[in-house]
Amino acid sequence: MNFKNELKEYQEIIETELKKYIEKNESPEKILNQSVEYSLLAGGKRLRPILVIATYRIFKNDFEKCFPYAVAIEMIHNFSLIHDDLPAIDNDDIRHGKPTNHKKFNEYTAILAGDSMLNNAYLIISKDLISTTNNNERNQKIKAFNELTIAIDRVIAGEYVDTESEGKNISKEKLKYIHENKTGAFLRACVRIGAILADVTDNDLNKLTSYAEKIGLAFQIKDDILSEEGDEKVTGKPVGNDKNKKKCTYISEYGLSKSKEILENTIEEAVESLKDFGEKAEFLRELAFYIKNRNK
Amino acid sequence: MNFKNELKEYQEIIETELKKYIEKNESPEKILNQSVEYSLLAGGKRLRPILVIATYRIFKNDFEKCFPYAVAIEMIHNFSLIHDDLPAIDNDDIRHGKPTNHKKFNEYTAILAGDSMLNNAYLIISKDLISTTNNNERNQKIKAFNELTIAIDRVIAGEYVDTESEGKNISKEKLKYIHENKTGAFLRACVRIGAILADVTDNDLNKLTSYAEKIGLAFQIKDDILSEEGDEKVTGKPVGNDKNKKKCTYISEYGLSKSKEILENTIEEAVESLKDFGEKAEFLRELAFYIKNRNK
């Protein structure tokens, strides 16, 4: 199967699992659930849950075991998007080409829908832990749960420094800090969670962590490039938004041409980290090129 | 030991554990941590973690085992206070006699500090699960974790309906829904988590659940009474605040005198639910009277 088809197949798996979750959702508040559903099914690349599943599949076939983590992770990703878009934070009106949650509903609904999604992600994980009877499997799942909580702590810290830095001249070190925490830590955790659930050796975990850190960096550089020269109709985000808000980005620090060069080298290093995993890691390799070449 | 001293001792235990957590906190963002610390150590009755520990102690002595849950629960309680106080939700300026988090810091800090506290509560739980090697104990802790996530889902839903209802005439059913979810579900979970961690029988769990539901109801009625006729200097909250915002409360629904009668009966029922637990439940009995008689 070629990469595009495999990616589409993964995306469909995630959509199906998210819809199943929404159907079974027993949260008591209807409008709040609608707001959660609105953001959760608004599209998006589903990159994070795909990383979990694709990493797991390098080692094992029964990838359905990752689904609770895949869904939880996509929910947490959407929690962070909803809160980041809030007037007090990034004040964005458009996400995936649609009104942001607080624009579609209102601010208190967006705050509480975000809270609900973060909490419900852990609800899903707790349910899955209860139904896991195999002791070794349970150990891996608890480690994966811990990995996720630590990463999200960093995502929130990164978002904080990013918000605090808006309109300010910041150092390259601070830019690196923002990227490594806000975006990098989460992508890193997704790959590591897939690997931990597959019960890999420390050596393999280290190689995959290196891959994850490189694509995390590449992802952020590409985001900055798209914000500078992307097609608004394709990205679904206003072009020049970062520049208008004087946001500190790779472009503002290094310029467009140098940023593209850094992106190129970073992708090469990511692919290099996978060299010992052979054919089974082909999807992750292609995914690195996809991150470089994507137009949204 | 009399109740007041025992309560104080419990409160000191919680303060010590919260301070230990703050000292060990490895979250990467300093100001965000200061904002978390500000709210976490701003006082408060520490009722929720005390319920966990006091319930556990009816059955077992080694109550240190509850500490991670006690700290996590107090953090989640403070997360919900910080978000409830936000301009888009309750828009409150004063909490525990001090500026609310967004007044002391700013709105984006308050949103992200709240997010951080909710996530960090689960981080603490995940760490504790990793370090728990006894299988039966681990099972109970996973159940307690699940119990907590379900309760917080209801807390957020209750807060949503409460916010949505502000300034509107709402039915008694809706008032009941708000109380049972926003306040009741959390207090109920605290007692149940203490019991679950102590590995009690289903029969005992049911009796304690009944106690918890009654004191949850009593707590809300008393809150409404204090908002109507409390001393602002003691409660730390503006008196008449609910009335000014046309909030639906027990007082607006039943009047002050009838509300006090309902409170009295509810406390009697709570104490009745504890009748089979003898001397060991004395603190929980006294706590029910304390909820009725408190002036803040």
Backbone φ and ψ of B266, nearest 5° = -65, -40
Interface check B149 vs A, CB under 8 A: yes
Q: Which chain A residues touch B135 with a CB distance below 8 Å?
A: 135
A&B contacts, CB < 8 Å: 142
The pLDDT assigned to A289 comes to 96
Put simply, the answer to whether B112 touches A83 (Cβ < 8 Å) is: yes
In chain A, which residue's Cα lies nearest the Cα of B145?
A: A126
Cβ within 8 Å of residue A226, ≥6 positions away: A235, A237, A294, A295, A296
Put simply, the answer to whether B135 touches A135 (Cβ < 8 Å) is: yes
Put simply, the answer to whether B119 touches A118 (Cβ < 8 Å) is: yes
Residues 68-107 of B with CB under 8 A from A: 79, 83, 86, 88-89, 106-107
- Rounded Cα–Cα distance for residues A243 and A247 (Å): 6
When CB atoms are compared, the residue of A118, A135, A148 closest to B115 is A118
Mutate to test the interface with B, among A33, A83, A119 (most CBs of B within 10 A): A119
Q: Which chain A residues touch B107 with a CB distance below 8 Å?
A: 88
Compute the mean pLDDT over every residue in chain B, rounded to the nearest whole number: 93
In chain A, which residue's Cα lies nearest the Cα of B102?
A: A88
Q: Which chain A residues touch B28 with a CB distance below 8 Å?
A: 153-154, 157, 177, 181
Polymer length of chain A = 296
Domain ranges, ordered by start, for chain B = 3-293
- Rounded Cα–Cα distance for residues B84 and B167 (Å): 16
Interface check A135 vs B, CB under 8 A: yes
Mutate to test the interface with B, among A21, A27, A29 (most CBs of B within 10 A): A29
Put simply, the answer to whether A146 touches B153 (Cβ < 8 Å) is: no
In chain A, which residue's Cα lies nearest the Cα of B107?
A: A88
When CB atoms are compared, the residue of A29, A118, A163 closest to B160 is A29
Q: Which residue has the tokens 């300026």?
A: B93
Q: Taking residues A46-50, report their average pLDDT.
A: 97
B235-245 CB burial, b ≥16 within 10 A, e <16? bbbebebbeee
* Below-70 pLDDT ranges, chain B: 236-238, 241-247
Q: Which chain B residues touch A129 with a CB distance below 8 Å?
A: 142, 145-146
- Is residue A26 scored above 90 in pLDDT? no
Biggest CA-to-CA distance, chain B: 53
Name the packing angle between helices B135-165 and A30-40 (round to 10°). 110
Q: A81, A18, A9: which is closest to A236 by C-alpha?
A: A81
Compute the mean pLDDT over every residue in chain A, rounded to the nearest whole number: 93
Percent of chain A scored above 90 by pLDDT? 80
B144: closest CA of chain A, how far (Å): 9
B18-22 long-range contacts, Cβ below 8 Å, gap at least 24?
Answer: B18/B71, B18/B74, B21/B71, B21/B75, B21/B124
- Is residue A75 scored above 70 in pLDDT? yes
Interface check B166 vs A, CB under 8 A: no
Interface check A181 vs B, CB under 8 A: yes
Query: What are the tokens at A110?
Result: 């967006």
Distance of CA A252 to the CA centre of its chain: 23
Whole-prediction pTM? 0.94
When CB atoms are compared, the residue of B31, B126, B164 closest to A142 is B126
Interface check B114 vs A, CB under 8 A: yes
- Rounded Cα–Cα distance for residues A215 and B217 (Å): 51
Give chain A's end-to-end CA distance (angstroms, integer): 23
Interface check B206 vs A, CB under 8 A: no
**SS3 assignment for chain B:** CCHHHHHHHHHHHHHHHHHHHHHHCCCCCHHHHHHHHHHHCCCCCCHHHHHHHHHHHHHCCCHHHHHHHHHHHHHHHHHHHHHHHCCCCCCCCEECCEECHHHHCCHHHHHHHHHHHHHHHHHHHHHHHHCCCCHHHHHHHHHHHHHHHHHHHHHHHHHHHHHHHCCCCCCHHHHHHHHHHHHHHHHHHHHHHHHHHCCCCHHHHHHHHHHHHHHHHHHHHHHHHHHHHCCHHHHCCCCCHHHHCCCCCHHHHHCHHHHHHHHHHHHHHHHHCCHHHHHHHHHHHHHHHHHHHCCC
User: Which pLDDT band, with edges at 50, 70 and 90, does A157 fall under?
Assistant: very high
Q: Which chain B residues touch A86 with a CB distance below 8 Å?
A: 108, 111
Query: B55 vs A16, B17, B286, CA distance in Å?
Result: 42, 18, 13
Mutate to test the interface with B, among A78, A91, A115 (most CBs of B within 10 A): A115
Comparing A261 with B168, the larger pLDDT belongs to A261
- Rounded Cα–Cα distance for residues A295 and B28 (Å): 32
Q: Which chain A residues touch B163 with a CB distance below 8 Å?
A: 108, 112
- Is residue A245 scored above 70 in pLDDT? no
Range A3-293 classified under CATH 3.40.50.1000: no
The pLDDT assigned to A243 comes to 65
Q: Taking residues A10-17, report their average pLDDT.
A: 97
B83: closest CA of chain A, how far (Å): 8
Put simply, the answer to whether B83 touches A130 (Cβ < 8 Å) is: no
User: Which pLDDT band, with edges at 50, 70 and 90, does A17 fall under?
Assistant: very high
The pLDDT assigned to B249 comes to 82
- Predicted ipTM of the assembly: 0.94
- Is residue A232 scored above 90 in pLDDT? no
Q: Taking residues A125-132, report their average pLDDT.
A: 98
Chain segment A178-228, per-residue pLDDT in tens: 989 999 999 999 999 999 999 999 999 999 999 999 999 999 899 889 988
- Is residue A246 scored above 70 in pLDDT? no
Mutate to test the interface with A, among B86, B112, B155, B176 (most CBs of A within 10 A): B112
**SS3 assignment for B142-179:** HHHHHHHHHHHHHHHHHHHHHHHHCCCCCCHHHHHHHH
